Amino acid sequence: MRRGSLALTAVLVALAIGLGTESSAPLTEEPTLPGGHFIDDNGNLHEANIEAVAAQGITLGCNQQGTAYCPDLILTRAQMASLLARALDLPPGSAQFSDVSAANVHGDAIAALATA
């Protein structure tokens, strides 16, 4: 899988879980907060999709405070595992990998996705 930006990934995740529509209309009517969930996606082509997956609790942002999305950063496979595990509401998994430490913030999602 080719690496892509987080903004494009929000579009793909939104479509994969059925949040998308056949039109180009935004997936959410209004953001829940002034300017939306994140401080750095305003005016982004994919802002509506980013806000839609944020409203569903699928994306939590790229910083500890949950105030930034970092739409131009490269998405890692570990981050994608977390997005998919949340989108699919996967139960905890038992899979273990030698290159995923117990301290990895995405470890539980990786295990859940691998088990599923």
pTM for this one?
0.70
What local confidence, expressed as pLDDT, does residue 23 receive?
A: 38
What local confidence, expressed as pLDDT, does residue 5 receive?
A: 65
What local confidence, expressed as pLDDT, does residue 25 receive?
A: 43
List, run by run, the mean pLDDT of 10-residue segments along the chain (116 residues).
Answer: 59 58 43 70 88 91 91 91 94 94 94 95
What local confidence, expressed as pLDDT, does residue 35 receive?
A: 64
Find, among 12, 70, 11, the residue nearest to 38 by Cα: 70
What local confidence, expressed as pLDDT, does residue 11 receive?
A: 62
3-state DSSP assignment of residue 5: strand
* Cα–Cα distance for residue pair 21/75, rounded to 1 Å: 24
What local confidence, expressed as pLDDT, does residue 37 receive?
A: 87
